[in-house]
Chains A and B, each alone.
Chain A
Amino acid sequence: MSAPVIKVRDLRREYAMGAETIRALRGVDLDIMVNEYVAIMGPSGSGKSTLMNTIGCLDTPTSGEYWLNSQEVSTLGDDELARVRNREIGFVFQTFNLLPRATALHNVELPLIYSGEKKSERKRRAEEALELVGLGDRMDHRPNELSGGQRQRVAVARALINKPSIILADEPTGNLDSRTSEDIIGLFAELHDKGQTIIVVTHEPDIAAHAHREITLKDGTVFSDSLRQAA
């Protein structure tokens, strides 16, 4: 079997809050293989977002080791981390995090701007990605001219645009009704079928049910980690 996409050992993240120290992650060990579809669950405050941000190179762990595609992330400088976020990670957030004044097309183009693609190439690929998520007819719409589900699809298109090693989705359906949630989850299933590695944080068992592996966090540690028989 090939090396894991993500390999985490004894990962800790602590926040100093005055005299108190908050331990958001207290030693997490994790291996995620290519084309796995993982759901992370757990009570509020158990460290799910902290783990996602760390895996996504947005946050730096207090201690522990993290390899992304066999590269030790803690050795990377600022610019290299930006490169990893740009090329290896596709983030999907609960609150979409689109630029409000920019069109769907421009929002999807953003990662390509930072990877230095030419304008024509950017446009072509962004259009392609929007077609893929079924928004070919909404390219020039701004976020406030789109429904919640459409916004999240723009965000998914943006996450996919640089063909990342992994998609990290932190409660991607948290702001959506159950029908639109199904749409987004359907989209993830499609991507997974095409070979994409995906981690989804969710509170909803229905959503988690689509994943092939379910990890539960509790108090900043892995409480359970189980494979689910594909339905």
Chain B
Amino acid sequence: MPVFEAVRLALQVIWNQKMKSAFSVVGVFIGVTFLIAVVTIVEGMNNYMEDTFAGALLGVNTFGVRYRPSVNVGDTPREVWRSWRRRPRITFEDAEAVAAGLSVPVITAVESESNASVDYEGTTANNVRIIGASDSYFALKGWNIQEGRPFTEQEASFGTPVAVIGSELAEVLFGNSDPLGRTVRIRNFPYRVVGVVEKQGNVFGFSLDNFAVAPALSPVKRFVNPPRIVDALLVKAETDLLMRAAMAEAEAIMRRRRQLRPATDNNFELETSDGVLDFWSKISGVLLAAIPGLVSISLVVGGIVIMNIMLMSVSERTREIGIRKSLGARQRDIMRQFLVESATLSTVGAGLGIATGLGMAKLVAELSFLPASVAGWSIGAAVVLGMGVGITAGILPARKASRLDPVEAISQE
């Protein structure tokens, strides 16, 4: 009998005994549901951290020359904090020297930011990120300008009061009307809106679209940083390798400028998304490490339940087995019938677990800021585990069935 037909017959038996089947796959079902739900959330977080979080906040293949890290993960001891505070800030001159000194092809831009409110004709948007930056900033960030244009090199060097704003800020201030050419006030200074950046969404519930970028030399310089100081020089390369090369050069340039002796540590920071991703991979490592334990417990319990139910089923169907043997079924035919049955049963349980796990992950993603993303391997693993548990749990019952004495079996009530 071909396998698919055996499976079809097994499904029939399973369907005929819905209650018993449902009960017997509970363990496998729970194990697989858990596996899929956790992996889907962790995978979602992985993608999120790599693409959205690290990508949007820190940039792909991008590093920043800063006086201290902007993103802190884990514990930072007090003395480290104290030493960070004593460091000299990054100046426009530092930024220019590094940008000019890099031989690796890169895009560079300075960045300084602070929060402030933005007004337009009586409407006020609070807590907006106000960024003072170079004209190359938009290209470096990879932002698409949805309306208008970025500010020009000229506007940047003159410090013209123009602004490119995020889509959320545009929405808050202008609603449906066209923001281009309007004048907004930031700290009581007027800026003409020249562009709107395409919507970027949010990170853990924080909007990425509530900002205004103005030339670093425009009047924003008065409040985003002390005079001549920038938060960072951002450097973006084409590839990770080029970025590492540029980092080495930038480090050398900065050390030379600050006349640091070879034995002295850097008194500045070259920040990439590595730190954040390392931290996340530690957390996800812990989460993923918990999976095998919990999943295998429920699968072992599930396997034992299936085995016992199959043993029960063998005793209940002793007569059927006797009949089949009297008609010419070999031991291996009976063995196969019960193995296919328990494997099918448990695979069906795993299938339901996959569906439920995905459903749960999607629900969590809907109701919280946690992202969800399906990992193909987890579904493959769930199916293989389900089938494996079924086959393993079925061996003993199937063996018992196949070895029944036909005369005794057939004369059961």
Give the interface of A toward B (CB within 8 A). 53, 56, 58-59, 78-79, 82-83, 85-87, 91, 93, 97-99, 101, 110-111, 113-115, 119, 158, 162
Contact A82 B330 (CB under 8 A): yes
Shortest CB-to-CB span from B6 to chain A, Å, is 10
Contacting residue for B329 out of A58, A93, A114, CB 8 A = A114
In angstroms, Cα B394 to Cα A209, docked, is 50
Q: How far is the CB of A48 from chain B (nearest CB, A)?
A: 14
Q: Complex: how many Å from CA A79 to CA B12? A: 27
Chain A contacts of B319 at CB under 8 A? Answer: 97
Task: Please determine whether B407 and A82 come into contact, CB atoms closer than 8 angstroms.
Answer: no
| A91 to B323 Cα, complex, angstroms | 10
Q: Is B221 in the interface zone, CB < 8 Å from A?
A: no
Q: Is the Cβ of B328 less than 8 Å from the Cβ of A86?
A: yes
| Residues 1 to 20 of chain B near chain A (Cβ within 8 Å) | 1, 5, 12, 16
Further 9 A-B residue pairs, CB within 8 A, beyond A58-B410, A59-B406, A79-B332: A59-B407, A78-B330, A82-B328, A85-B326, A91-B327, A99-B320, A101-B12, A114-B330, A115-B328
In Å, the complex CA distance between A98 and B322 comes to 11
Give every chain A residue within 8 A of B5 (Cβ-Cβ): 119
Q: Does the CB pair A58–B407 fall under 8 Å?
A: yes
| B324 CB within 8 Å of chain A | yes
Mind listing 26 A-B residue pairs with CB under 8 Å?
A: A58-B326, A59-B407, A79-B330, A82-B328, A82-B330, A82-B333, A83-B330, A85-B325, A85-B326, A86-B328, A91-B327, A93-B410, A97-B319, A97-B322, A97-B323, A97-B410, A99-B320, A99-B323, A101-B16, A110-B323, A110-B324, A110-B327, A111-B327, A111-B328, A113-B1, A114-B329
Complex alpha-carbon distance, A8 and B332, angstroms: 30
With A58-B410, A113-B1, A119-B5 as given contacts, are A97 and B329 in contact (CB-CB < 8 Å)?
no
Residues of B in contact, count (CB < 8 Å):
21
Contact A82 B16 (CB under 8 A): no
| Chain B residues near A101 (CB-CB < 8 A) | 12, 16
What residues of B have a CB within 8 angstroms of the CB of A98 in the complex? 323
CA distance A119 to B5 in the complex (A): 10
By the criterion CB–CB under 8 Å, are A97 and B328 in contact? no
Q: Which chain A positions have C-beta within 8 A of B320?
A: 99
Number of A-B contacts (CB under 8 A): 58
| Contact call B323/A82, Cβ cutoff below 8 A | no
- A158 close to B327 (CB less than 8 A): yes
Q: Does B331 contact A (CB under 8 A)?
A: yes
- A53 CB contact (under 8 Å) in B323, B331, B407: B407
Give the shortest distance, in Å, between B378 (CB) and chain A (any CB): 36
Contacts A99-B320, A114-B333 given; indicate if A85 touches B327 (C-beta within 8 A).
Answer: yes
Chain B, residue nearest A54 (CB): B407
Complex: A83 Cα to B328 Cα, angstroms? 6
A51 to B333, CA, bound (A): 26
B325 & A82 in contact (Cβ 8 Å cutoff): yes
- The complex places the Cα of A158 from the Cα of B16 at a distance, in Å, of 24
Assembled-state Cα–Cα distance A113/B324 (Å) = 10
Residues A91 and B328 in contact, CB atoms below 8 Å apart = no
**Across the interface, which residues of B come within 8 angstroms of A78, CB to CB?**
330-331
Report whether A114 and B407 are in contact in the complex, using a CB–CB cutoff of 8 Å: no
Q: Which residues of A contact B328 (CB under 8 A)?
A: 82-83, 85-87, 111, 114-115, 162
Closest Cβ–Cβ distance, residue B317 to chain A (whole Å): 9
Of residues 300 through 352 on chain B, the ones whose CB sits less than 8 Å from some CB of chain A are 319-320, 322-333
Interface-central residue, B322, B323, B328, by most chain A CB under 10 Å: B328
- Interface hits, B60-89 → A, CB 8 Å: none
A106 and chain B: residue at smallest CB distance? B9
A91 and B333: CB pair below 8 A?
A: no
Evaluate whether A86 and B407 lie within 8 angstroms (CB atoms) in the complex, with A99-B320, A101-B16 already known.
no
Residues of chain B within 8 A of A114, CB atoms compared = 324, 327-330, 333
